[in-house]
Amino acid sequence: MRQIVLDTETTGLSAATGDRIIEIGCVELVNRKLTGNNRHLYLNPERDSHEDALKVHGISNEFLRDKPKFAEIADELLEYLRGAEIIIHNAPFDVGFLNKELELLGRGPITDVVDNVVDSLVMAKEMFPGKRNSLDALCGRLEVDNSGRTLHGALLDAELLADVYINMTRGQDALLIEVETTDEAVTTNEVPRIDLSSIVLPILVASEDELAAHEAVLAQLDKSTGGKTIWRMAEKTMA
């Protein structure tokens, strides 16, 4: 499965009132593994950033003057995102800005191009109800090093979010099994038989602490999927 962790920086908070995207950062995951096939773009927003926004991202208006406009990179960006699942922290904000940029070009919304949009903020609120779930808070909680994050930056934030997402969904990688079949394996008819009758295997019983830790992980995975994990559904069927 191909996923793109995406973040933007903008001139302000409202795409509806004319704020624009100034930076886009994308980090690619394939089968939950970082590929290094990332994208990082600075854009000329054709307007100045609000003073409060400048304090957040620190990207000056002068720096952006000679950067390409969104119209110039739209095709490249859409082709890169095409067919992928997009992971965004507080997705409505970034998706709203992307859709506005596309609307200005007479194009349809980003959901016409991507396979799905996952909001990692919604996931975090379900996993950690009642707690702060900003990107910095999640980095601290999930032991992701964000010491280099003094200002917001789209690529750095996307890289941090990729690590946060992988940690929030840990255990799923065991479900992604790639089966490679070789011609030799297909054409082999005889499997050597080994007599195991004389071998006694020791039985290692889990301790109470290990059982409790195991149940905690299962409960976390169960909660993140809304009670749709196979083992919970099987328990309900057997009950």
Running along the chain, 239 residues long, what does each successive block of 10 average in pLDDT?
Answer: 97 96 97 95 97 92 97 98 98 98 98 97 96 95 85 90 94 49 48 72 82 81 73 66
Q: Which H or E element spans position 238?
A: helix 230-238
Tell me whether residue 152 is one of the annotated catalytic residues.
Answer: yes
Six-digit token pair at 160? 């941090």
For the chain, the domains span 2-175, 195-239
Q: Which H or E element spans position 33?
A: strand 33-34
pLDDT at 236: 67
Give the type of residue at 97: F
Name residue, tokens 């396979």: 115
Q: Which residues pair with 42 in a beta bridge?
A: 23
Say if residues 168 and 124 touch (Cβ distance below 8 Å): yes
pLDDT at 25: 97
Distance CA 109, CA 120 (A): 20
Say if residues 139 and 145 touch (Cβ distance below 8 Å): yes
Task: Label the pairing between strands 33-34 and 39-42.
Answer: unpaired
Burial class, 206, CB count within 10 angstroms (exposed 0-12 / middle 13-18 / buried 19+): exposed
The catalytic position among 57, 89, 152, 214 is 152
Kindly report the number of other CB atoms within 10 A of residue 53's CB atom.
19
Distance CA 158, CA 23 (A): 12
- Cβ neighbors of 10 (< 8 A, separation 6 or more) are 19, 20, 21, 22, 45, 49, 53, 97
pLDDT at 206: 85
H helices, E strands: number in the chain: 10, 6
Fold of 2-175: Nucleotidyltransferase; domain 5 (3.30.420)
pLDDT at 171: 55
Phi/psi of residue 119, nearest 5 degrees: -95, 105
Kindly report the number of other CB atoms within 10 A of residue 42's CB atom.
18
Name residue, tokens 């990332």: 38
Distance CA 232, CA 110 (A): 35
Name residue, tokens 């054709």: 46
